Amino acid sequence: MPAAATTHSPKVDAYIAKAAPFAQPILTHLRALMHAAAPGVTEEIKWSRPFFVYNGVILGNLSAFKAHCSFGLWGQETAQQLRADGVASAEGMGSFGKITALGDLPGDKQLRAYIKAAASRIATGERTRSIVRPQVRVAKAEPVIPPELAAALKASKATDRFAAMSPSCRREYCDWIAQAKREETRLKRAATAAEWITAGKSRNWQYETR
């Protein structure tokens, strides 16, 4: 763990001072636990609420509302640990649900252990980014088979062979024929395509490495 001095932000002081009276001791206590369990943690205001940053990565955050508080520890591994221990809650923001009193939270010893474990994942490089956004791959739609190609495939009895090709191969053939402006050209390309497909060749087979 880093040995740098902890940093208390005046902006977080102001945030806690403006919170409802019931929330102030909860926020103050959780803030102290964060600093005690993760020496070197710094404070910032992000999205209008206090955040605790460790080695440049978000470790956790606090929020105060009219009737409850929330306390969040960041990181997928930490979330999995909290769920496995049965202390995670999906009610409201944060990791532990809606907090109206310190009794709504696990004990201090357990909370410190969770904070230390979360900070250790950052210190060891297991967690290097505050937010990990999953990459969503959007599958391309199946290509529309030009009628000229469909007819040529049927005549050559190559429809099944064409269907067995990869989506990219099918798309290359369909685009090649559909892009031709003249019907005569489309028919000529369709006949050629059917011949190549029957032979198991891709659209650009001439340029493929042998």
Q: In this predicted structure, what is the pLDDT of residue 1?
A: 41
Q: In this predicted structure, what is the pLDDT of residue 13?
A: 97
pLDDT at 209 over 90: no
Q: In this predicted structure, what is the pLDDT of residue 14?
A: 97
Inside any domain, residue 93: yes
- 46-50 long-range contacts, CB within 8 A, separation 24+: 49/15, 50/9, 50/11, 50/12, 50/15, 50/16
Q: In this predicted structure, what is the pLDDT of residue 25?
A: 97
Q: In this predicted structure, what is the pLDDT of residue 3?
A: 39
Q: In this predicted structure, what is the pLDDT of residue 2?
A: 40
**In which band, very low, low, confident or very high, does the pLDDT at 18 lie, cut at 50, 70 and 90?**
very high
Domain hosting residue 181, numbered range: 147-202
- Both tokens of residue 128? 């290097």
Is 177 found in the same domain as 112?
no
Inside any domain, residue 168: yes
Is 154 found in the same domain as 79?
no
- Count the domains in the chain: 2
Confidence (pTM) = 0.63
How far apart (Å, rounded) are the C-alpha atoms in residues 160 and 165?
9
Q: In this predicted structure, what is the pLDDT of residue 207?
A: 72
Q: In this predicted structure, what is the pLDDT of residue 137?
A: 67
**In which band, very low, low, confident or very high, does the pLDDT at 20 lie, cut at 50, 70 and 90?**
very high
- Do 177 and 189 form a contact (C-beta atoms < 8 A)? yes
pLDDT at 188 over 80: yes
Question: What percent of the chain is predicted at pLDDT more than 70?
Answer: 92
Question: What percent of the chain is predicted at pLDDT more than 90?
Answer: 81
Q: What is the mean pLDDT of residues 60-88?
A: 95
Is 157 found in the same domain as 114?
no
Inside any domain, residue 129: no
Is 189 found in the same domain as 118?
no
pLDDT at 45 over 70: yes
How far apart (Å, rounded) are the C-alpha atoms in residues 203 and 198?
12
Which H helix or E strand runs over 69? strand 69-73
Is 84 found in the same domain as 38?
yes
Q: How many Cα atoms sit within 13 Å of 161 on the Cβ side?
A: 18
pLDDT in tens, 116-155: 999 999 999 999 999 876 666 666 778 889 999 999 999 9
- In the three-class reduction of DSSP (H, G, I as helix; E, B as strand; rest coil), residue 38 is classed as coil
Is 109 found in the same domain as 44?
yes
Q: What is the mean pLDDT of residues 82-109?
A: 94
CATH code for the domain of 94: 3.90.1150.200
Question: Among 43-47, 123-127, 163-167, 202-206, which stretch is predicted with the lowest mean pLDDT?
Answer: 202-206
